[in-house]
Structure 1
Amino acid sequence: MKKEGRPTESRFRSRSEHSLDEKGRLSIPARFREILHEEYNDKLVVTNWHKCLKAYPPQAWEDIETTLLNQGKKEPGMAEFRRYVISGVTECPVDRQGRILLPATLRTDFDLKREVVLNGMLDHFEIWDKAAWDAETRRTRENFQNFEQSLSTLGIL
């Protein structure tokens, strides 16, 4: 379903603010929908994470599951992590209006009531409660100097 001339690997970039409707449906930004439609047949896997939900194309999520199965058993505490993350895994197809339905359990666990932020993370995107997102970005800005050594090592600075 991929268009000719399109990069081999599309990325989820940028952020946008959206509102959940009364049924818990969330409109996916057009730039994210295009990637999901053209490359992943309008499919998405959503799961709970630390402070937000994470949304992955199916193949990216399958890669994570494979890593957890093959290598995660060796790491202490990984059974607990797997239990938590896998318990929230939900396949969320994108409907014709470009929305996904977030299950009530995931909405409740992350206090997603109305205003949410979708934040691109290149190979996946995050779904945050707006207030939690604002607090997290404030904290990140305050601690930005902590990233300078890692950025320098990567050749970004």
Structure 2
Amino acid sequence: MFIGEHKQKMDTKGRVVVPSKFRDELGNQVVVTKGLGEQCLYAFSRESWEKVVNKLEELPMTNMKVRNFNRFFLAGANNLEADKLGRVLVSSALREYALLDKEVVWVGVGNRMEIWDVDKWKENSDKFTGDSEDGIDMEELSEYMAELGI
């Protein structure tokens, strides 16, 4: 399980170190794709990625929404292998999508990780602390999670 926040520098070539706590679970490979509805990337272990793909393959390809989702989510995915220093090379297309620059934050969210530009992550985090105009109502969120059984 991936949890916590880990800041890392990204070099000019787009290489970034996978946090050691995440590497322990990932091994040498990570699958990275575009995040949904937010300017971040999703990163999965091979095992978790295969589970997601298997679920997507069960959906009806006759449905245009399914096809569009698969195009967005799967076509943008990259299978990355860490070098000896634990770095992965994030493609320029993925860096542009998530507006990644010099410093990123790896965020563990259970079965996957998210990769955010450090400033975008701060903006997102401010929504939970009330430091943002478009803040998240934590009471409403808590009630929704309770409805889901959490």
The residue correspondences of 1:8-23 to structure 2 (distance < 5 A) are 11-23=1-13
Say how many residue pairs are matched: 142
Q: TM-score, normalised by structure 2?
A: 0.86
Which sits farther off after the overlay, 76-85 or 13-22?
Answer: 76-85
What one-letter code is carried by the residue in structure 2 that aligns with 1:28? V
For 1:95 and 1:149, locate their aligned partners in 2 and report how far apart those are by CA, in whole Å: 44
Q: Which amino acid aligns with 1:147?
A: L
1:149 aligns with 2:149: no
Structure 1 gap segments, 5+ residues each: 1-10
Q: What is the root-mean-square deviation of aligned Cα atoms in Å?
A: 1.7
Task: Look up the SS of the partner of 2:48 in the other structure.
Answer: helix
Three-state SS of the structure 1 residue aligned to 2:2 is coil
Q: Give % identity.
A: 28
Q: 1:72 to 1:129 in 2, by over 3 A?
A: farther
Pair 1:53 & 2:41 matched: yes
1:6 matched to which residue of 2? Answer: none
Deviates more, 1:139-148 or 1:112-121: 139-148
| C-alpha distance in structure 2 between counterparts of 1:130 and 1:154, whole Å | 31
* Dislocated runs of 4+, deviation >3 Å: 72-76, 153-156
Q: Distance in 2 between matches of 1:66 and 1:25?
A: 29
TM-score normalised over the length of structure 1: 0.82
Q: Which runs of 5 or more structure 2 residues have no equivalent in the other structure?
A: 130-134
Which has the larger strand fraction? 2
Q: What amino acid sits opposite 2:101 in the alignment?
A: K
C-alpha change, 1:83 and 1:22, in structure 2 (3 Å) is same
What are the equivalent positions in structure 2 for 1:4-153 lying under 5 Å apart?
A: 11-37=1-27, 42-50=28-36, 51=38, 52-71=40-59, 73=61, 77-141=65-129, 142-143=135-136, 144-153=138-147
After superposition, the Cα gap between the structure-2 partners of 1:133 and 1:74, relative to the gap in structure 1 and judged at 3 Å, is farther
